[in-house]
Amino acid sequence: MRELTMNWLPFAHADYDIGCGGTEIPMRYTDGKTYLYVWNKVEKRHEYYVFDDDVFIADAAAPWLTNQTTYKL
C-alpha cells in the first residue's frame, strides 16, 4: 500500500476535488481495484473514483458497504 501512495495515480477532473481537502490517498480494495474518495463539486456530494474502470460511483455503492461484496479469505 505504501508504494501506491508514493506513485500517485493521475486524477484530473474539472468537476471533482480530491476528498479531505486534497489529502485523500487512493486505496486498493480486496476486489483488486483502486478507489479514491472525491467531492463532486456540481452535485455537492462525495463519490469514489474507480481508477481501474474509469468511473465514479456513489459513496454508498462502495463494495465494502454493499451486500454484493465478495470477500477473499
pLDDT in tens, 37-49: 999 999 999 999 9
Q: Would you say residue 51 lies in a domain?
A: yes
Task: Cell 480530491: give the residue.
Answer: 18
- Cβ 12 vs Cβ 47: under 8 Å: no
Q: How far is CA 13 from CA 32, 55, 67, 72, in A?
A: 23, 11, 30, 32
State if pTM tops 0.85. no
Q: Would you say residue 65 lies in a domain?
A: no
Helix (H) or strand (E) holding 16: strand 16-18
Q: Mean per-residue pLDDT for 5-26? A: 81
Domain that holds residue 22: 2-60
Q: Would you say residue 73 lies in a domain?
A: no
Q: Would you say residue 55 lies in a domain?
A: yes
Q: Domain tally for the chain?
A: 1
